[in-house]
Chains A and B, each alone.
Chain A
Amino acid sequence: MKIRFTRLFLALLSTGALILTAGSAWAEVRTWTSSDGRTVQAEFIGTSGAGTNATVKLKLSDGKIAEYPISKLSEQDRIFVKGNLPTDPAALAEEIDTLVMNKLKESYYGLQAELAALPTKEGLTPDEKANRKMEIDREMQMCVPNPTTSDNQFLRRIYLDVVGRIPTYDEADAFLNDRSPNKRAVLIDKLLNSEGFVMRMYNYYSDLLRIRDGLVMMGNDSLKVDSYMEWVKDCVRTDKPLNTMVKEMLTATGKLWDSPATGFMVTDDGMPLCNLSNTFTVFMGTEITCAQCHDHPFEEVYQMDFYKMAAFMGETVTRARGGDNYRNEVDRMSQILKAAGKLPPKVNQDNALSRWFGSNRTDVLDTNENTVRLPHDYKYDDGEPNMKIEPATYFGDKMDVTKYKTPREAFADWVISPNNPRFTVNVVNRFWKLAFGLAQIEPVDNLPGHLDGQAENYQLLTFLEEMMKDLNYSVKGFFRVIYNTNTYQREAETMTPSLTQVDTGTYHFPGPVLRRMSAEQIWDSLVALTTADPESVTRKGADRYKEVMDVAPASLTTADQIEKWKKEWTSVSRLVRNGGEEVSKDERVGGQQMFRASELRQPMPPDHFLRMFGQSDKQLIENQFTTGSSPQVMALLNGEITNKVLTSPDAYLIKEIAYGKGSKRDNIDKIFLSVLTRYPTSEEKTIAQSGMRAKTNRDMNEQQKMEVEAQAIGNVIWALVNAREFMFVQ
């Protein structure tokens, strides 16, 4: 029973029935206030539903139980209720499913009505009518929810989405043979708490935040990214609330190796205005770059607004002025090296030393001096060129900077404030896209000023927004709910949403969109085929980096000490196995370092497999791509990965099969399950068997036989990896 709040209040007030009874021990009688200011005294009984659509059960003084939609309560009451709201993923997931289903139904009936009215509709030519009919037919098909995924489909997709790779044979086997009814929910939890999730989310964040080796866009690229990188991974691992994570990035002070969250500001070293634009794009889905030079052409953003916002960061610098004079130290050390014969004949100064010590000047700090001025060619009448500007916001909360230690802290609080209309929406919109392949509002980096009417499903979007707040910005919590929805667990859509559907937000999620794997998902899946435990090797360097940077130059007095320091610098980043043992650079499968993309160089060189398939160059926000190309196809047909790495006798899958005990037919099952996460049909099995026939003979030694067999098994693996079924996420 849902009663509209205001009407109920009126009814209550008119009967004057506001006498209180003493509450029992568990219940609390308090004053409840509606969002429009009316009050009632009542006892809190409990809640039903979830998120914004939850209702609060109150026992009124006359003993009647009434239910109020939580959205009609004051903020204070909401906070009171919050602790009692269900955060049970299943309940929240159900609510999402209901909202999606409502939308699908509504759209279906809407289209049906339009179809019925079409023959008599005026102003359309017969051709236009025929075209529209086809469109409607197509869209109606996409308003019918897709069937629930089979265990195999679900398994493959959930691994790709949560841990960023396909399941290994053992993982697939374990899940498929599990008979427990809640095994999907259990698997989701397990994966969210695994290191694979950290790696997967790191790839996502590093594209969004442009995290790369060398870090800064211009100038001295001798900085090591390791501390920042490990900090981001740690945020995912410990499920640091996303609002806290963002605040730390925006307010961190100090040097990169002491205070890794400074990485966000350091990335745009020397370009504070670009950093502001990037902050808006990444954390608020708002494109304000154009307002740097002129008023935004189609949104309410004036050039003045841009500079008022920039003024919040105007006291912040990313490089210490003056500071220690490393030049003298570099000269002194160069002389020592020269005297010891450690420099080439004509070289008197070690440039590497000066670069490395120079990177020591990178330091994020606040100066008490606001440097933001209007540009020299400012042409609007609300300000003069070169005028000093005071910080002020142009939407959301008004901020009183005097209440903060630095204006930057006021800015950070403004960004993550629950009253910021963009912050939470941006997060949930981006995360929805990560799970479903398409956002609620596209494009994700340019949300319109008013969301109602623009969002695919405004009710759903606001529900997700409130849910994120209720979950206290737990990223794991959010994805746990999303992945537990029926909507997510449906089969991928077999048709392509049309451009109009994407632009107008009229694809209503009968299931996720079919997507090509990201470059990292492809690579990491190949890693899962070549190594027994794909997450066993991680990149480490933060601790060593700090040690190296904390060395006082003056303490290096001998050539040996200096040389040792240089060596430590160059070997800061290394790959480490779970146990802590360092991984040799020579540890390769078929000539390639087969470790997770998140642990390798960021980004890889342009001719690497990862880059060819669309790994971001980390120069721009979200610069990854999943479109196809001939070089990609050639790499899969003729490249080393499919011809040498996957078929190497050292590759895990080959080893398992060639040395394994199973019969040939079992081995084919194993290969199919490993590569495509499904068993072959009997027809496929027969064909695969013929493809795997190895031409060995008696004159061959064991090694030679092994290689020939690996090659034969490789034929089937090659064929499966080249299949579209491998590359696309169903």
Chain B
Amino acid sequence: MKELFNQLDPFSRRQFVLRAAQTALGVSILPIGAASIVRAAGGAGGKAKRGILLYMSGGMSHMDTFDPKPGAETAGKTQGIDTGVAGVQLAEFLPELAKRFKDIAVIRSMNQKTGDHRGGSYWVRTSYEKRATIVHPTMGPWAQTLLGKAHDTLPDSVVIGGGGEHPGSGFFGPALSPLPIGDPDRGVQNSHPYQGVGTDLFEKRMDLMNTFDQSFRRKFQTDEVKAYTQFYDETLKLMKSKDLDTFDLSKEKDYQQKVERYGNTRIGKGAILAKRLVSAGVRFVEVVSGGWDMHNDLWGEIPSTAGEMDKAISALIDDLKAEGLFEETIIAVATEFGRTPIINANAGRDHHPRVFSTMLAGGGIVGGQVYGASDEKGIAVKEDICNPQDFNATIAYALGLDLNKVIYSPSGRPFLVAGHTRDPKTDQIVSAGKPIMQLFS
């Protein structure tokens, strides 16, 4: 054991990964060229070949979306709407999802420890508590690590509209970082020559550059210099390649009609791009959508915020079905916490990690179900508690990831995709998260 650790000691491991990345061939839009493809056979669980996480940033109010309590004193103005399943209602702001309830599963017993946005969203995205000594990876990079790369030239994971504190690839390093897309309409940053720079001028500048750089490159033939030269060659290829079109929404078939259906909103366009990317071979896409931190005037805001989400997810489900990808794609809706049942002085609700809701669909999830429940007022979990580790274990299981596969950080610490704990009987490190099997049957 010790010997194995020594071979993987921090510096050489990190250097090895980076050097391998620098000298790898076949790089495309990847933030850094990654190692060659190793496709694992699908795991026991997973029907899902890809995943889309729609992250509702700010803390989605459970009582006004997936877990309405009409009639309860804490309900506020929110009414319920029937789903076609007896006894199950969604909030009135989700009419389209209510119509598609047979395709979705709702978890109403989410629970986590912190009412802090940063700590909470970190916990939900990584299955680990935020620490000051390490950054844990998120689902996309985990899938790449456990299954190998999904596509030769496209990145394995993409985050659309993520902010500055996304944990990304964590200790897996920059080579596995999800490609960040700020604005879905703009696609990959800087992928076309600057406006006014035509092909001739571009070529002329490249000639100048190569001439000026000749003697330096001849003298310093180090790995890093060669790697950069290779990045230039490959980027030039990429700028002409079809892969770039994958990120170009305007190339989407019937784009305007789709914008109508998904909504001309960030989440709407994010969802179109996510669908486009997973269809092309990207394994995991996260779409981040904000505006949920409704401390003030909740009922002034929730109709539009929840309505936009409702529209985007519904259209996404429809299109994945139409393309025959729904059963192979796990869709997850998550948030860092719910909101207080008690309405505050500003007609809003505050942070509430004790109970909240999430949603899953596709990828082997059997729709029309509700898992777990909150109490009558929406204050605490009543049955079947589900923590972020279980939630992530469920997604990972759907994707066919090995939940018990230990991966060591460069500092030699062991980690698992859905968090870890020590089995008291065997003293082995095992997954802390347990997939909710009920959702698959």
Set of chain B residues within 8 Å of A351, measured between Cβ atoms: 295-296, 346
Cα distance, A606 to B295, chains bound together (Å) = 27
Interface size class, chain A? 35 or more
- Interface residues in B323-349 by Cβ distance below 8 A to A read 344-347
- Interface residues in A274-320 by Cβ distance below 8 A to B read 274-275, 277-278, 281, 287, 289-290, 297-298
Cα distance, A175 to B239, chains bound together (Å) = 42
Distance in angstroms from A521 CB to nearest chain B CB is 15
A298–B191 touching, CB < 8 Å: no
B254 within 8 A of A: no
Distance in angstroms from B150 CB to nearest chain A CB is 18
B5–A723 touching, CB < 8 Å: no
B118 within 8 A of A: yes
B257 within 8 A of A: no
Cα distance, A691 to B211, chains bound together (Å) = 12
A267 within 8 A of B: yes
A417 within 8 A of B: no
Cα distance, A727 to B217, chains bound together (Å) = 12
A139 within 8 A of B: no
Q: A275-B132, A630-B31, A718-B209 are in contact. List 8 more A-B contacts (CB 8 A).
A: A281-B133, A346-B300, A502-B11, A630-B234, A631-B31, A634-B190, A639-B194, A720-B209
A349–B238 touching, CB < 8 Å: no
A633–B216 touching, CB < 8 Å: no
* A-B residue pairs, 10 tightest by C-beta: A719-B208, A643-B194, A443-B11, A274-B132, A346-B297, A725-B216, A723-B213, A719-B209, A634-B190, A633-B235
Question: When A217-B130, A630-B235 are in contact, do A607 and B189 touch as well, CB less than 8 Å?
Answer: yes
Distance in angstroms from A512 CB to nearest chain B CB is 12
A730 within 8 A of B: yes
Q: 30 interchain pairs (CB within 8 A)?
A: A218-B130, A219-B116, A297-B5, A298-B2, A298-B5, A346-B300, A347-B297, A351-B295, A443-B11, A446-B9, A494-B222, A499-B15, A503-B11, A514-B224, A605-B164, A606-B180, A607-B182, A619-B135, A620-B133, A627-B32, A628-B231, A630-B28, A631-B179, A633-B235, A637-B193, A638-B190, A638-B191, A639-B190, A691-B205, A724-B216
Distance in angstroms from B11 CB to nearest chain A CB is 4
Nearest-CB residue, chain B, relative to A500: B12
Cα distance, A639 to B194, chains bound together (Å) = 7
Cα distance, A644 to B188, chains bound together (Å) = 19
B119 within 8 A of A: yes
Chain A residues close to B by CB (< 8 Å): 210, 217-219, 221, 267-268, 271, 274-275, 277-278, 281, 287, 289-290, 297-298, 344-349, 351, 442-443, 445-446, 492-496, 499, 502-503, 514-516, 603, 605-607, 614, 617, 619-620, 625, 627-635, 637-640, 643-644, 676, 680, 683-684, 687-688, 691, 715-716, 718-720, 722-725, 727-728, 730
Cα distance, A445 to B2, chains bound together (Å) = 20
B411 within 8 A of A: yes
B204 within 8 A of A: yes
Set of chain A residues within 8 Å of B225, measured between Cβ atoms: 514, 724, 728
B235–A724 touching, CB < 8 Å: no
Cα distance, A495 to B189, chains bound together (Å) = 34
Question: When A287-B411, A346-B346, A606-B180 are in contact, do A495 and B194 touch as well, CB less than 8 Å?
Answer: no
A637 interface neighbour in B31, B132, B190, Cβ under 8 Å = B190
Cα distance, A436 to B25, chains bound together (Å) = 29
Distance in angstroms from A211 CB to nearest chain B CB is 13
A627–B22 touching, CB < 8 Å: yes
Distance in angstroms from B181 CB to nearest chain A CB is 9
A271–B222 touching, CB < 8 Å: no
Cα distance, A607 to B188, chains bound together (Å) = 11
Cα distance, A290 to B239, chains bound together (Å) = 45
Set of chain A residues within 8 Å of B37, measured between Cβ atoms: none
A492–B220 touching, CB < 8 Å: yes
A628–B228 touching, CB < 8 Å: yes
Distance in angstroms from B269 CB to nearest chain A CB is 17
Cα distance, A277 to B411, chains bound together (Å) = 12
B205 interface neighbour in A287, A631, A718, Cβ under 8 Å = A718
Set of chain A residues within 8 Å of B191, measured between Cβ atoms: 634, 638
A347 interface neighbour in B164, B228, B296, Cβ under 8 Å = B296
B29 within 8 A of A: yes
B280 within 8 A of A: no
Set of chain B residues within 8 Å of A443, measured between Cβ atoms: 9-11, 14
How many A-B pairs have beta carbons closer than 8 Å: the answer is 232
Q: Interface residues of B, CB < 8 Å — how many?
A: 87
B231–A271 touching, CB < 8 Å: no
B222 interface neighbour in A281, A496, A625, A680, Cβ under 8 Å = A496
Distance in angstroms from A529 CB to nearest chain B CB is 16
- Interface residues in B187-230 by Cβ distance below 8 A to A read 188-194, 197, 201, 204-206, 208-209, 211-213, 216-217, 219-225, 227-229
B231–A715 touching, CB < 8 Å: no
Chain B residues close to A by CB (< 8 Å): 1-2, 5-6, 9-12, 14-16, 18-19, 21-22, 27-32, 114, 116, 118-119, 130-135, 162-166, 174-175, 179-180, 182, 188-194, 197, 201, 204-206, 208-209, 211-213, 216-217, 219-225, 227-229, 231-232, 234-235, 238-239, 295-297, 300, 344-347, 411-413
A725–B213 touching, CB < 8 Å: yes
A691–B208 touching, CB < 8 Å: yes
B118–A221 touching, CB < 8 Å: yes
Set of chain B residues within 8 Å of A274, measured between Cβ atoms: 131-133
Set of chain B residues within 8 Å of A617, measured between Cβ atoms: 164
A297 interface neighbour in B2, B175, B189, Cβ under 8 Å = B2
- Residue among B14, B22, B32, B119 with most chain A CB within 10 A: B32
B15–A502 touching, CB < 8 Å: yes
A635 interface neighbour in B31, B114, B189, B412, Cβ under 8 Å = B189
Distance in angstroms from B17 CB to nearest chain A CB is 10
Question: When A684-B211, A715-B201, A728-B225 are in contact, do A494 and B15 touch as well, CB less than 8 Å?
Answer: no
Nearest-CB residue, chain B, relative to A348: B345
A627–B18 touching, CB < 8 Å: yes
Cα distance, A629 to B32, chains bound together (Å) = 5
- Residue among A443, A614, A627, A728 with most chain B CB within 10 A: A627
Set of chain A residues within 8 Å of B190, measured between Cβ atoms: 631, 634-635, 637-639
- Residue among B2, B132, B231, B412 with most chain A CB within 10 A: B132
Nearest-CB residue, chain A, relative to B183: A607
A722–B12 touching, CB < 8 Å: no
A494–B220 touching, CB < 8 Å: yes
Set of chain B residues within 8 Å of A632, measured between Cβ atoms: 231
Nearest-CB residue, chain A, relative to B181: A607
Set of chain B residues within 8 Å of A514, measured between Cβ atoms: 220, 222, 224-225
Nearest-CB residue, chain B, relative to A621: B133
Cα distance, A559 to B198, chains bound together (Å) = 57
Set of chain A residues within 8 Å of B205, measured between Cβ atoms: 691, 715, 718-719, 722
B119–A724 touching, CB < 8 Å: no
B32 interface neighbour in A290, A628, A639, Cβ under 8 Å = A628
B224 interface neighbour in A287, A614, A628, Cβ under 8 Å = A628
Set of chain A residues within 8 Å of B212, measured between Cβ atoms: 676, 680, 684, 687-688, 719-720, 723, 725
Cα distance, A683 to B214, chains bound together (Å) = 12
Set of chain B residues within 8 Å of A727, measured between Cβ atoms: 228
Question: When A514-B224, A605-B164, A724-B216 are in contact, do A289 and B232 touch as well, CB less than 8 Å?
Answer: no
Nearest-CB residue, chain A, relative to B19: A499
Distance in angstroms from B250 CB to nearest chain A CB is 18
B180–A607 touching, CB < 8 Å: yes
Cα distance, A135 to B221, chains bound together (Å) = 17
Cα distance, A428 to B306, chains bound together (Å) = 56
A629–B31 touching, CB < 8 Å: yes
Set of chain A residues within 8 Å of B217, measured between Cβ atoms: 724
Cα distance, A221 to B22, chains bound together (Å) = 36
Set of chain B residues within 8 Å of A691, measured between Cβ atoms: 204-205, 208
B345 interface neighbour in A289, A349, A634, Cβ under 8 Å = A349
Question: When A502-B11, A630-B235 are in contact, do A715 and B164 touch as well, CB less than 8 Å?
Answer: no
- Residue among A348, A603, A628 with most chain B CB within 10 A: A628
Set of chain A residues within 8 Å of B300, measured between Cβ atoms: 346
